[in-house]
Amino acid sequence: MTDFNAIMPPDLGLRSGLQAYPAFEHWDDVVEFDPKAWPRKQENHFSLIPTVCFNCESGCGLLAYVDKATGEVRKFEGNPLHVGSQGHNCAKGPATINQTHDPQRILYPMRRKGPRGSGQWERVSWPDALADIGGRIRKAFQENRREAVMYHVGRPGHEGYIERVLRAWGVDGYNSHTSVCSASSRLGYMLWSGADRPSPDYGNAEFILLISAHLESGHYFNPHAQRIIDAMNRNGAELAVMDPRLSNTASRANYWLPTLPGSEAAVLLAMARIILRENLANREFLKTWTNWETYLQKKHPDKPVDFDTFMTCLTEDYARFTPEFAAQEAGIDATAIADIARKIAKAGSRFASHVWRAAGAGNEGGWQVARCLAFLNTLVGCIDSKGGTGLNSWVKYSPQVPLDAPAPAAWNELIWPREYPLAHYELSHLLPYLLKEGRGKLDVYFTRVFNPVWTYPDGFTWIEALTDENKIGCHVALTPTWNETAYYADYVLPMGNAGERHDVISYETHASTWVAFRQPVQREFQRRQGKPVNRTYEANPGEVWEEDEFWIDLSWAVDPDGALGIRRWFESETQPGQPLTVEEYYEYVFQRVPGLPEAAAKENQSPLEYMRRRGVFEVNREQYHRYEKAGFKTPSHKLEIYSETMEQFGWADQAVPDYIESHVHAGKRAPDQMILVPTFRLPTLIHTRSGAAKWLNEISNRNPVWLHTSDARRLGLATGDVIRVETEIGYFIDRVWVTEGIRPGVVACSHHIGRWRREQDPAANQWSANTVSIEKRGDGYFMRVLQGPRPFTSNDPDSSRVFWRDGGVHQNAALAIHTDPASGMNCWHQPVRVMKPKPGDQYGDVFADTAKSFELYKQWLDKCRRSPVQQDGKTLRRPLWLKRPHRPRDEAFYYDTNA
């Protein structure tokens, strides 16, 4: 018998005799008493089938309870075998069943009837949809316009799959959401270490510094939260949190530093200064593992190249970052800065830290926040140590995929414009502006679980681009649920939720490398019942497909006779002339996971069977100090305190960790402007996907603007009052939430709320969506809320019980974009004027001037520094050593300088 109390490390009901999960041996037939019939003992039999959550990026394990009598999924619990989530989940895990049974989900492929965006749809057959879309792609390929096909993903988590497809197509068409999320932090981390994300070992840490909200929301919310809380309660670890808003994370912190947005790097450098001046740094680590010689040679060419001189110079170079200076910039207490610096030094190798989204995503120069934080990591030598901060590239597993075509020789400038040689990565938020500028057009544009009209700033510009058929020939939305972007599609193709699709997933959630398997649970159930189906859609609800099979079939539709050389990458190896099957694909993938075949053999199973049964495999755990073998993946193989790459690409002024004054810095704001922090997530929601989850919207359904008591007094406002927030491109009308939990001078509004549909759009997400009207007004667009969420009729009786009428405000539409010239990050924070409403303003109104927005785009474009690196009349687009997802061949990294 498996004792899951032993597997789940924190003592749950230890010795209460109660177990967290039924023993693994019984998963094929678990008997539960029906909770509704209780106390009458009515037995229900379930098959427990592991899969992986499809809400946030954590990739937590789920166990689907498939009713053996009906084949229906009854509920989702956690998967105790999953080493990342350890059988626990956040609210979004169990709410997966809401998404599965959403009465308004899309069950059949739809094609638009009237003009794009007119809200008229008709059902279409899958073969017809595939033939049409495939034909368009084939035409583009035949006309040698491979850059006219683009795939744009919101929620990834399908390691390696789409990259393989795009390589087979020979297309540089991978676009992502990174530039509205983590581009800044990635650049900051990458310059130091050659890895773009940290992998903190919170569970063993002594001191934790978060510039993020990992106890409240993303990104690895549940896996991180459980380890941070455990370290604090079990080992007495201390937590410091930098956030101008009192997040739930900050609420748990020993030190809350409500830093003024944009000042974070200054505070971190002041901490570095204390560590240096008080001789608390790990000298041995610095001497062995940083490129300190380069630092000296470049910064102090007149000085002798010895380590002591380096330490002296370094200390002097950062002397200007006094705690008093930082405290002044950040508006916080200088003693707290010193206290934390000393505690970080004391924790030494057991210092775990993270910056994700937050300050990085908010500010121009936010990438230096990550760089300065990594500077602290380096000073105390906690890199990849037990309880320290590792690198994702050592922890996350990247699968080997079958039938892998060579990398394309193409470079798509709609995704990687040449102005941004250091971007991390795709300039995804610039797509509509680049199209507007006439830099290209798209024949076929796939959005996959991606909703920029609502999630991105300046959504009206996205609507403009999506409705212009000259810019986008065909927009295909691959999504489990209707959304604001899908309203402007030509095809809306229903894709599976967590229990309705195959994906292989691996994330650096902690000091362990794991691979997890998302699978269509009803398909797996039928297989276990001895009635296997050939395709996932045969077992899924309605005609819901999974993307894996979609891309295989679409590739066949693109190249039906194999003439384009594409079809061969999607043909079965065992049955030539037949399409590749997902079984073959994952058999190949799992056969190559180190240690998995051996583990499976012990159970007399194939690796695929093992993964279908368990859903997860741990490749290794608690491996530390991996840099000792081969160094770091930087040009110097050291941690780079001085980046020659930055110097080479025109950023010599930012070659070392430094403080860049943000675009919302006091000096750049008008005296009457406040800073809007528009980025925070709620613990219960996850962008578009949670809109269909009734239990999540019941808990969170509006997004008032947080305003400090003193600001409210100054403005004569009280909780519940309507306010007008004016941005650079427009305004939104919201209500006020007066609180002590935000720094004075700063306002905050969650970007998770304010879903909408127009009256003509399909009835969907009515748990969360306002009904709105959108009209052109001058050079912009005006949105008015006609009605908040209301009870509605459906096959779920709960839809008649919606007790909230306030669906919040779509603030994102009024936000201006600001593209960081180095990282390519959209810097979210906004300088705003907060005031009482003007006559005619109504709660929920949003206006944005898209012409102004375009002007701002160009102004920020002017800040860019194009690559100065020349080679044989060609310009190097991007440092070759820097990572690029879906990387083309090296030859594509150059463009003709004179072209």
Partner 1 sequence: MSFKCRVSSFKMKMTDLLALLDTRNRTLETGDSLTATLTPRQLLHSPAWPLQFERPLRIPMTDSAATLPKQYGFVIDNRRCIGCHACTVACKSEHDVPIGVNRTWVRYIEKGEFPDVRRHFSVMRCNHCSDAPCITICPTGALFKRKDGIVDFDTSVCVACKACTQACPYDALYIDPNTTTAQKCNFCAHRVEQNLLPSCVVVCPTTAIVAGDLNDPLSKIAQLVREQQTTVRLPEKGTGPNVHYIDGRPESLLPNVAQSAQGWMWSSQAAGVGFKAGQEHQPLPGLQALPDTTAKPVDAAARQVYDAPQKGILWGRKITSYIITKALSAGISGLTSLAALTGAAVAHPGWTFGIALVMLIITFGLLIWDLGQPKRFWMLLTRGNRKSWLVRGAYVLSVFGGTTTALWLDAAGLFDLGNAARPLHLLNILASAFAASYTAFLFAQAKARDAWREPWWLAHFALHGALCGMAFFSFWGDAAAAAFSPLLLGALTISLLLLLGHGHLGYRSAESRTAHRLMHTGDQAWIFWLGVVGIGHVLPLLVITFNTSLNPFVGLMILAGQILHADQMVIQPQKLAIA
- Sign of the CA dihedral with 648 first, then 651, 654, and 657 last: negative
Q: Judged by CB under 8 A, does residue 720 bind partner 1?
A: yes
Q: Judged by CB under 8 A, does residue 719 bind partner 1?
A: yes
Q: Judged by CB under 8 A, does residue 2 bind partner 1?
A: no
CB nearer to partner 1: give 214 or 527.
214
Which residues between 309 and 338 bind partner 1 (CB under 8 A)? 332
Q: What is the DSSP letter of 663?
A: T
SS (HEC) of 773-811: EEEEECCEEEEEEEECCCCCCCCCHHHHHCCCCCCCCCH
Q: Least Å distance between CB 64 and partner 1? A: 12
Q: Let me know: does 64 contact 499? Beta carbons within 8 Å.
A: yes
Q: Judged by CB under 8 A, does residue 881 bind partner 1?
A: no
Q: Judged by CB under 8 A, does residue 861 bind partner 1?
A: no
Q: Least Å distance between CB 24 and partner 1? A: 14
Q: Judged by CB under 8 A, does residue 885 bind partner 1?
A: no
Distance CA 28, CA 45 (A): 9
Q: Applying CB under 8 A, which of residues 2, 620, 709, 794 lies at the interface with partner 1?
A: 709
- Sign of the CA dihedral with 185 first, then 186, 187, and 190 last: positive
Q: Judged by CB under 8 A, does residue 13 bind partner 1?
A: yes
Q: With CB under 8 A, what is the number of residues at the site for partner 1?
A: 92
Q: Applying CB under 8 A, which of residues 88, 152, 396, 687 lies at the interface with partner 1?
A: 88
Q: What are the backbone angles phi and psi of residue 347, rounded to the nearest 5°?
A: -65, -30
Q: Judged by CB under 8 A, does residue 684 bind partner 1?
A: yes
Which region holds residue 144: left if phi is over 0, alpha if psi is between -120 and 50, else beta?
left
Q: Judged by CB under 8 A, does residue 11 bind partner 1?
A: yes
Q: Applying CB under 8 A, which of residues 142, 400, 773, 800 lies at the interface with partner 1?
A: 800
Q: Least Å distance between CB 699 and partner 1? A: 5
Q: Applying CB under 8 A, which of residues 130, 168, 241, 246 lies at the interface with partner 1?
A: 246
- Sequence-distant (6+) residues with CB within 8 A of 263 are 326, 329, 330, 331, 662
113, exposed or middle or buried, with CB in 10 Å at 0-12, 13-18, 19+?
exposed
Structure tokens at 45: 């039999």
Looking at the DSSP bridge assignments, the partners of residue 735 are 722
Q: Judged by CB under 8 A, does residue 16 bind partner 1?
A: yes
Distance CA 488, CA 465 (A): 10
Which residues between 144 and 183 bind partner 1 (CB under 8 A)? none
Q: Applying CB under 8 A, which of residues 108, 126, 695, 843 lies at the interface with partner 1?
A: 695
Q: What are the backbone angles phi and psi of residue 97, rounded to the nearest 5°?
A: -65, -30
Distance CA 441, CA 173 (A): 12
Which residues between 197 and 226 bind partner 1 (CB under 8 A)? 215-216, 221-222, 225-226
Q: Applying CB under 8 A, which of residues 15, 301, 438, 716 lies at the interface with partner 1?
A: 15
* Rg value, the chain, Cα: 27
Q: Applying CB under 8 A, which of residues 682, 814, 822, 869 lies at the interface with partner 1?
A: 682
Helices (H), 679-831: 694-699, 709-715
CB nearer to partner 1: give 246 or 370.
246
Structure tokens at 756: 């909408």
- Binding segment for partner 1 among 19-27, 129-137, 320-328, 770-778 (CB under 8 A)? 19-27
Distance CA 382, CA 377 (A): 5
CB nearer to partner 1: give 309 or 799.
799
Q: Applying CB under 8 A, which of residues 252, 441, 528, 724 lies at the interface with partner 1?
A: 252
Which region holds residue 348: left if phi is over 0, alpha if psi is between -120 and 50, else beta?
left
Distance CA 729, CA 718 (A): 26
Distance CA 725, CA 303 (A): 53
Structure tokens at 192: 């130091």
CB nearer to partner 1: give 78 or 888.
78
Which residues between 21 and 40 bind partner 1 (CB under 8 A)? 21-22, 31-36, 38-40
Q: Least Å distance between CB 60 and partner 1? A: 9
Q: What is the DSSP letter of 636?
A: T
CB nearer to partner 1: give 491 or 756.
756
Q: Let me know: does 587 contact 606? Beta carbons within 8 Å.
A: yes
Distance CA 804, CA 789 (A): 7
Q: Let me know: does 818 contact 860? Beta carbons within 8 Å.
A: yes
- Binding segment for partner 1 among 153-161, 251-259, 477-485, 770-778 (CB under 8 A)? 251-259
Q: Applying CB under 8 A, which of residues 703, 819, 826, 875 lies at the interface with partner 1?
A: 703
CB nearer to partner 1: give 31 or 851.
31
- Binding segment for partner 1 among 244-252, 490-498, 515-523, 863-871 (CB under 8 A)? 244-252
Which residues between 393 and 422 bind partner 1 (CB under 8 A)? none
Q: Could you give the C-alpha distances from 232 to 9, 227, 271, 442, 456, in angstroms and in order?
A: 15, 9, 22, 51, 36
Q: Applying CB under 8 A, which of residues 95, 608, 656, 769 lies at the interface with partner 1?
A: 95
- Binding segment for partner 1 among 403-411, 472-480, 595-603, 736-744 (CB under 8 A)? 736-744
Q: Let me know: does 829 contact 711? Beta carbons within 8 Å.
A: no
Residues in contact with partner 1, shown as a per-residue x/- string from 450 to 489 under the rule CB under 8 A: ----------------------------------------
Structure tokens at 722: 């309507």
What H or E segment, with its residue span, contains residue 746? strand 746-748
Q: Judged by CB under 8 A, does residue 683 bind partner 1?
A: yes
Q: Least Å distance between CB 461 and partner 1? A: 28
CB nearer to partner 1: give 214 or 757.
214
Q: Let me know: does 341 contact 277? Beta carbons within 8 Å.
A: no
Q: Judged by CB under 8 A, does residue 18 bind partner 1?
A: yes
CB nearer to partner 1: give 556 or 737.
737
Q: Least Å distance between CB 234 and partner 1? A: 10
* Pair type for strands 874-876 and 870-871: antiparallel
CB nearer to partner 1: give 256 or 610.
256
The pairs formed by 859-866 with CB atoms below 8 angstroms and a separation of 24 or more are 860/817, 860/818, 860/819, 860/821, 861/419, 861/819, 863/821, 864/419, 864/420, 864/821, 865/421, 865/649, 865/650, 865/651, 865/821, 865/822, 866/418, 866/419, 866/421, 866/650
- Sequence-distant (6+) residues with CB within 8 A of 468 are 435
Residue type, 257: L
CB nearer to partner 1: give 265 or 738.
738
Q: Judged by CB under 8 A, does residue 363 bind partner 1?
A: no
Which residues between 743 and 772 bind partner 1 (CB under 8 A)? 743-744, 750, 753
CB nearer to partner 1: give 481 or 701.
701
Q: What is the DSSP letter of 21?
A: S
Q: Applying CB under 8 A, which of residues 120, 235, 251, 773 lies at the interface with partner 1?
A: 251
Which residues between 45 and 84 bind partner 1 (CB under 8 A)? 75-78
Q: Judged by CB under 8 A, does residue 97 bind partner 1?
A: yes
Residues in contact with partner 1, shown as a per-residue x/- string from 801 to 820 under the rule CB under 8 A: xxxxxx--------------
Tell me whether the omega of the peptide bond preceding residue 457 falls within 30 degrees of 0, making it cis.
no
Q: Applying CB under 8 A, which of residues 28, 339, 468, 798 lies at the interface with partner 1?
A: 798
CB nearer to partner 1: give 246 or 463.
246
CB nearer to partner 1: give 233 or 398.
233
* Pair type for strands 121-123 and 110-112: antiparallel
Which residues between 621 and 660 bind partner 1 (CB under 8 A)? none
CB nearer to partner 1: give 228 or 646.
228
Q: Could you give the C-alpha distances from 8 to 85, 121, 340, in angstroms and in order?
A: 10, 48, 32
Q: Applying CB under 8 A, which of residues 125, 142, 235, 248 lies at the interface with partner 1?
A: 248
294, exposed or middle or buried, with CB in 10 Å at 0-12, 13-18, 19+?
buried
